[in-house]
Amino acid sequence: MEAKNLALISPEGLRIDGRKPDEIRDIKMTVGVLENADGSAYVEQGNTKVYAAVYGPREVHPRHLASPDKAVIRCRYHMTPFSVEERKSPAPSRREIELSKVIREALTPAILLEQFPFTVIDVFVEIINADGSTRCASIIAASLALASAGIPMRDLVAACSVGKVNGVLVLDVTDTEDKHGEVDMPLAMMPNRNEVTLLQLDGVLSVEELEKAIAMVSKACRDIYERQKNALKAKYLEARKVN
């Protein structure tokens, strides 16, 4: 079936995975999953599966990259060769380099970098399985990993995508919806501060559709934010039981 004729919304108003347009996929969040990292998290959002690891703040090498008034944050977004249908080259692609920058810029406003001059904070994101909205899942996981590492933050960063398929606005876009839909718009925000840290738009929306899309995705981010806080609480409640 050709993409333009692909029915992504059923006559009953449901998507191909059975969700309503304003529903996000089930999300599993676990904090402190990697022993060798200073902070780590695992996020499973539908079939999209992501690990994030944080190291630092630590000394910068080479030293000329250090900033005298704040920490430098470095981010690497990487898709494993087996994360997509056709084996991906292990070498970093242009898209991975771009998304590394996007994720870093989405996280930077939340981190109190000025408290750690002459240091670096390294964020590594590994996509184990990709089924759409990987940048949003990566931001969710990286934010949890930063908090897990004990790095002072203004707020957690939550993220979600909103798309348009068959003329209908939908939350938490899957790979099929991304490839065959008309619009993909990821958004990241610090919900407690009501500040947006990332907004990208691939496609065309009317002003009315844009306002509705932002309202939908902001509400979803606040829901995800509560789940992030619960995941962090669960980690420390478990540690208290052990001790």
pTM of the entire structure? 0.94
Give the residue-averaged pLDDT of 103-111.
98
Mean confidence (pLDDT) of the chain: 93
Q: Determine, yes or no, domain membership for 6.
A: no
Q: Determine, yes or no, domain membership for 81.
A: yes
Q: Determine, yes or no, domain membership for 13.
A: no
What is the pLDDT, as a whole number, of residue 91? 81
Which of the four pLDDT bands, split at 50, 70 and 90, describes residue 237? Answer: confident
Domain count of the fold of the chain: 1
Answer whether residue 67 shows pLDDT above 70: yes
pLDDT in tens, 171-206: 999 999 999 999 999 999 999 999 999 999 999 999
What is the pLDDT, as a whole number, of residue 1? 35
- Alpha-carbon gap, residue 138 to 140, rounded angstroms: 5
Q: Determine, yes or no, domain membership for 7.
A: no
CATH of the domain at 172: 3.30.230.70
- Alpha-carbon gap, residue 88 to 82, rounded angstroms: 7
pLDDT in tens, 6-43: 789 999 999 999 999 999 999 999 999 999 999 999 99
> Which residues span the domain enclosing 117?
23-242
